[in-house]
Amino acid sequence: MEMRNLTVIKEFILLGLSGSAEQQYFLSVLFLCMYLMTISGNMLIILVVGFDTHLHLPMHFFLSNLAFVDICFSSTTIPQMIVNLLTDTQTISFVGCLSQLFFFISFVNMDSLLLSVMAYDRYVAICHPLRYIAIMNPHLCVWLVAGLWLVTYLHALLHTVLMAHLSFCASNIIHHFFCDLNPLLQLSCSDISLNVTVIFTVGGLLALTPLICILISYGLIFSTILKITSTQGKEKAFSTCGCHLSVVVVFYGTASAVYFSPSSSFIPKSDNLLALMYTLVTPMLNPFIYSLRNSDMKRALQKMLCKGAYFQQQ
């Protein structure tokens, strides 16, 4: 009887970036430009890798998958935020909120897992170069990516189902610009102990495992590089993994600032800015990091642009 008297919330209000009309218009234009740069930059990586047969290698296969995930990752939260800023509605339905939560968890975990697989790929390339083709064969790469997608979707589905069984009967105001786990749990009037347990066990395992794999891989990589006698060989080895290591530092640095800061239990405007770094700035920077620091990507990009200009002149 008590549950029947509760007011069931059918939509949420996202107040993460609310402000004056001028501020919201400026932010919407800024985020739209950044979002378009994210989409175009990552799409360019996918096109370049598909265009140049010399880039049909495991490293670039994982890179193109990372670019695709970054496009989906940004598209999960940023368009909704821009619409809310322009229309000043700031609302999202309950179903839409759960859908956004599902895809956000899926893509953020896929990003992390792909970075760990790319670290392993660099480990095999540098520490076992003669066995690289045999170990990182195309079948293994495809099965690895397929397995990662399955794991991330099952993990996201677990959190979404648990969230869907909670009751939201008090405030419907989310002090964030998208539906994340912690802001939603703060609004629930149900027992969230199971949700919290799953977050710290399954979620913690899925978050720490890729990071540990990356640290172990690069520990072995650096120990191998230090044994190289020639300076040219060391520089080549460092340049091989430099791009990926830069992305790892940016990704985990911003993610740690969001989820491991002392104020993570309550999300003020400062945490929203950190979340923007995590969800928008990092995916936007990845194409620049890889294209500017990867000589193979730069040559392939120049080749594709020159070929495109040639066909336009015909």
Percent of the chain whose predicted confidence (pLDDT) is above 70? 80
Dump pLDDT digits (tens) for 40-78: 989 988 988 888 777 788 888 998 999 999 999 999 999
Are the C-beta atoms of residues 48 and 300 closer than 8 Å to each other?
A: yes
In angstroms, the CA 133 to CA 260 distance is: 39
In angstroms, the CA 214 to CA 112 distance is: 10
pLDDT at position 154 is: 95
Q: How confident is the model at residue 266 (pLDDT cuts 50, 70, 90)?
A: very low
In angstroms, the CA 41 to CA 288 distance is: 8
pLDDT at position 221 is: 87
pLDDT at position 263 is: 41
Q: How confident is the model at residue 1 (pLDDT cuts 50, 70, 90)?
A: very low
pLDDT at position 276 is: 81
Q: What is the CATH number of domain 18-310?
A: 1.20.1070.10
What are the b/e assignments for 219-242, b being 16+ CB within 10 Å? ebbeeebeeeeeeeeeeebeebbe
How does DSSP classify residue 263?
T
Q: How confident is the model at residue 309 (pLDDT cuts 50, 70, 90)?
A: low
Measured at the CA of 28, the angle between CA 22 and CA 30, to 5 degrees, comes to 100
207 forms bridges with which residues in the sheet? none
Beta strands across the sheet bearing 11-14: 91-93, 11-14, 173-174
Dump pLDDT digits (tens) for 229-241: 777 666 766 766 7
Q: What are phi and psi of 19, to 5 degrees?
A: -175, -160
Q: How confident is the model at residue 260 (pLDDT cuts 50, 70, 90)?
A: low
- Average pLDDT of 102-126? 91
Measured at the CA of 202, the angle between CA 201 and CA 207, to 5 degrees, comes to 100
Judged by DSSP in three states, 171 sits in coil
In angstroms, the CA 240 to CA 163 distance is: 42
pLDDT at position 151 is: 94
261 forms bridges with which residues in the sheet? none
Dump pLDDT digits (tens) for 145-199: 999 999 999 999 999 999 998 888 767 888 888 888 888 888 888 888 898 899 8
The ranges assigned to domains in the chain are 18-310
In angstroms, the CA 304 to CA 75 distance is: 26
pTM value is 0.86
In angstroms, the CA 29 to CA 238 distance is: 38
Are the C-beta atoms of residues 259 and 204 closer than 8 Å to each other?
A: no
3-state DSSP percent of the chain in helix, strand and coil, to 5: 80, 5, 20
DSSP class per residue in 132-189: HHHHS-HHHHHHHHHHHHHHHHHHHHHHHHHHHTS---S--EESSSS--HHHHHHH--
Are the C-beta atoms of residues 210 and 148 closer than 8 Å to each other?
A: no
